[in-house]
Structure 1
Amino acid sequence: MSVNKYKAPALEKGLAIIEYLALQPTAQSQSEIAIGLDKSPNEIYRMLASLESRGYIQRDTISSKYSLTLKLYYLSHRHSLVEKLRSAALQPMRQTSAIIQQPCHLSVLFNDKVLVVAYSKSPRPIAVMIEEGNLYNMMTTASGKTLLSFLEDNNREQILHQDSSYQKLSKTQKRDFQKELININKQGYTEMPSSYAQGIIDFSVPIGDTTSGITACLTVSKLLTLEDENQPSHEEIIQKLLACKKEIEGNLGLASLPKI
């Protein structure tokens, strides 16, 4: 067996904790992890705190036991997932933009933000431009609310628990926000005025679901102009978005997956 000449004790300790937790069927306490690694609890305390702050592990608020998050899985699949989404979505998005005369953008959740991963421009001379790679607030945007509304309850609660703006809300405001997400989920789409600028209406539909491992959303930001009388109605935009969603999911191979 080869000997590593360039040891990094802190890194090795962190990796050992991650590997140990990955092999455990249930969450582990600090003492249990220490025993499993043949360390003292004090030796691993700072590393546990660091891994938790970086999002690799999570601590249960009741039992204080640790378990892995999905961050490692997300990091290992992030680039391939984005490219897969873009490949499946760009052509249907361009066709939809041409029909409804409005731009479309595709987004995913990235930590506590909405990350734009694809954009198709409008054929009209004046339209809303959404840059790929931009990050937006998940609580105040149509894309963010759509993504949150279609997450599993425990995943959504975990994300909101870590969001500072959500934690600043009163109990009533939190309850109202949760009701809004429930309504979006039942309705199947979001329609709301833009939180970033006046004169813009956002429409958003989900792409995929948590069971498929792909969760994204397709959004149209319609700029209200004096020529709106000759443009598709809001209902027509939503129907075209839903049709585009169906085509994208078909390209991703999700249409044939059984619903769980």
Structure 2
Amino acid sequence: MAETNSVKYNAPALDKGLDILEYLSKEGIPLTQAEIAQGIHRTPSEIYRMLVCLEARGYVVRGANAGKYRLSLKMYSLSHTHTPFDELKRVASYPMQLLSEKTRQSCHLSIMNNDQLLIISQMRSPDAVSLSIEEGTHFPLSMTTSGIIMLSTLSAKKRKEILSRDKYYKTWNKDQKEQLNSEIDRVTKLGYRAEASKLTSGVTDIAVSIGGNAELRAVLAVSVFTSSLKEELKVESILKSMEETKAEINKFIGG
């Protein structure tokens, strides 16, 4: 169960404890000490103290009769004390602030909620005049750069299912639908998108994905006055700064 890759610091006891928790979660049924030991390729005596500790801390529960171990609800309770998106907002705040200061532009973070894009965090530009996208606002996935980035992170099956419910997509003809799907494929290969906004004239949106696992997907975006791009800013320089911010946020969330 434990990773075989070499690490700078080893923690054998922690490895054994995590192996036990992961194996019990994977199997999904109560198991004896011997069965757990066999499953994680250790001896029963090796894991005895770990099981005693995990039981004392409330992470596993042992049946009164057969003495089999199962996971308690403690892991569930801990994982729901704060949602993953609460933690994402927290760790993304400082990197987003640095991005805003470096590019002199506002940036925002969004997730998918009820088949729409939901803005969960915004960092305003330090300049006197800038674009602002309020937290809590919903936008259609099919009509936004961030939405297309989000769709590009999904499986083809999941994407098709979501678009079948999109109020804009449902009214489009075959060519329009094919154009969107081709754009999603293009973005999947590039890893970013920079296009004029379909919802706000005179604005260009630049976006990259954050995270990547099934539980935590988000999009980091910068919205810029298109005229500014022509005069003093370059998409490439903004994108470079966004990629650095993306790497910093992913480092904190394990993306």
TM range (shorter): 0.5 to 0.7
- In the other structure, the counterpart of 1:114 is 117
Distance 2:241 2:235 in 1: 10
Runs of 4+ in 1 over 3 A off after TM superposition: 76-79, 224-229
Distance change in 2, residues 1:169/1:90 (3 Å): same
Q: Secondary structure of the residue that 2:168 maps to in structure 1?
A: helix
Give the counterpart of 1:94 among 78, 83, 97.
Answer: 97
Structure 1 residue 174, shift from structure 2 partner: 1.1
| Residues 140 and 166, structure 2, Cα contact 8 Å, conserved in 1 | no
Q: What do the CA deviations read for 1:179-215 (whole angstroms, capped 9, x no partner)?
A: 000001111101011122222110000001135x211
- In the other structure, the counterpart of 2:236 is 235
Letter in 1 for 2:183: E
- In the other structure, the counterpart of 1:22 is none
Structure 1 residue 164, shift from structure 2 partner: 2.6
Distance 2:154 2:103 in 1: 28
Distance change in 2, residues 1:111/1:226 (3 Å): closer
Letter in 2 for 1:119: Q
- In the other structure, the counterpart of 1:81 is 84
Letter in 2 for 1:99: K
Letter in 2 for 1:130: I
- In the other structure, the counterpart of 2:128 is 125
Distance 1:152 1:170 in 2: 23
Structure 1 residue 79, shift from structure 2 partner: 6.2
Distance change in 2, residues 1:86/1:226 (3 Å): closer
| Residues 142 and 166, structure 2, Cα contact 8 Å, conserved in 1 | no
- In the other structure, the counterpart of 2:247 is 246
RMSD of aligned residue pairs (Cα, Å) = 2.1
Letter in 1 for 2:245: C
Letter in 2 for 1:205: V
| Residues 146 and 206, structure 1, Cα contact 8 Å, conserved in 2 | yes
Distance change in 2, residues 1:78/1:187 (3 Å): farther
| Percentage identity across paired residues of the two chains | 32
| Residues 195 and 204, structure 2, Cα contact 8 Å, conserved in 1 | yes
Structure 1 residue 228, shift from structure 2 partner: 6.2
Distance change in 2, residues 1:109/1:236 (3 Å): same
Distance 2:161 2:208 in 1: 22
Do structure 1's residue 157 and structure 2's residue 154 form an aligned pair?
A: no
- In the other structure, the counterpart of 1:14 is none
Letter in 2 for 1:139: S
Pairing of 1:29-68 with structure 2 (within 5 A) = none
Distance change in 2, residues 1:78/1:193 (3 Å): farther
Distance 1:242 1:168 in 2: 35
Letter in 2 for 1:175: E
- In the other structure, the counterpart of 2:146 is 143
Distance change in 2, residues 1:118/1:169 (3 Å): same
Q: Secondary structure of the residue that 1:127 maps to in structure 2?
A: coil
What TM-score do the two structures reach when normalised by structure 1? 0.64
Query: Which stretches in structure 2 are left out of the alignment for 5+ residues?
Result: 1-78
- In the other structure, the counterpart of 2:223 is 221
Q: How many residues align?
A: 178
- In the other structure, the counterpart of 1:44 is none
Give the counterpart of 1:181 among 179, 184, 198.
Answer: 184
Structure 1 residue 78, shift from structure 2 partner: 11
| Residues 142 and 204, structure 1, Cα contact 8 Å, conserved in 2 | yes
